[in-house]
Amino acid sequence: MISIKDCTIQAGKFKISHINIEIPTGSYGILMGKTGSGKTTILEALCGLRKVSAGQILINGVDITKKRPAERNIGFLPQDIALFDHMSVYEHIAFGMRIQKWNKVDIDKRVRELAEQLKINHLLERKPAGLSGGERQRTAMGRALAVRPQVLCLDEPLSTLDDDTHEDVINLIKEVTQENQVTSLHITHRKSEAALLGDHFFELCDGRIIQDQETFS
């Protein structure tokens, strides 16, 4: 369960208050709202990349409001994907596990398991240059899911994909998040994407969160 409780979050002079979002364990939350309304700001606060000046953030009942990003067990797919030029697909997926000092055998097993699920096992030795948009998305997804996060945050991760690849990656996200029992919060501007993925829908409107179960279901 992701619980964002009455939070105030600030980014420079921009401030949002009384933010409340609850997403039950294993389900998929969608966050929509006009450009500049503060969606990324909320996601960054959940991931620990932005300070919360009031309120609480809990994951499965544990208060993580003051924890560092690495201690939160959250996978993050940023808006720009942010792959590293010098690292292979294998190294991207292994990245978080190496930081957490998993042993080599377990890392190798997990990389190959995820690569299989994400259908990128033939790309493991490739570097990001020359990968297609969809292949880059899958690589970033593998990196985000590798350490078995409880929560996955996705910031408009599919905005650059063509319609066919878009649908393909949506099905993949659904499959992988369900198999891994991840609780997700996903920002998108596309209603079709929201409808296909979401279980719970939130709209950020004039600084307020509106939960709207009717709009897309």
Nearest approach, Cβ of residue 131 and ligand ATP (Å): 24
Q: Judged by CB, which is closer to ligand ATP: 40, or 117?
A: 40
How many residues line the site for ligand ATP (CB under 6 A)? 11
Burial 196-208 (b: 16+ CB within 10 A, else e): bbbebbbbbeeee
Q: Which is nearer to ligand ATP, 118 or 194 (CB)?
A: 194
DSSP assignment letter at 124? T
In terms of Cβ atoms closer than 10 Å to its own Cβ (0-12, 13-18, 19+), residue 44 is buried
**CB 41 to ligand ATP: min, Å:** 3
**Per-residue interface string for the shown chain with ligand ATP, residues 7-36, x marking contact by CB under 6 A:** ----xx-x------------------x-xx
188 binds ligand ATP (CB under 6 A): no
> Is residue 150 near ligand ATP by the rule CB under 6 A?
no
The CB-of-159 to ligand ATP minimum distance in angstroms stands at: 9
Smallest gap, in angstroms, from Cβ of residue 166 to ligand ATP?
18
User: Which residue's beta carbon is nearest to the bound ligand ATP?
Assistant: 12
Q: d(Cα 119, Cα 187) in Å, to the nearest integer?
A: 24
Cβ proximity of 136 and 83 under 8 Å: yes
What secondary structure letter does DSSP report for 63?
A: E
Q: Which of 120, 184, 174 is nearest to 149 (CA)?
A: 184
Residue from 29, 39, 75, 107 that binds ligand ATP (CB under 6 A)? Answer: 39
Q: Which of 37, 117, 184, 188 binds ligand ATP (CB under 6 A)?
A: 37
Report d(CA 28, CA 194) in Å as an integer. 10
Tokens for 72, please give them. Answer: 């939160």
Binding residue (CB under 6 A) for ligand ATP from 38, 48, 75, 134: 38
Question: 90: which residues sit within 8 A by CB, 6+ positions away?
Answer: 111, 115, 124, 125
Closest approach of ligand ATP to the CB of residue 34, in Å = 7
Binding of ligand ATP at residue 40 (CB under 6 A)?
Answer: yes
Q: What is the DSSP letter of 42?
A: H
- Residues of the shown chain interacting with ligand ATP in the complex, contacts defined by CB under 6 A: 11-12, 14, 33, 35-41
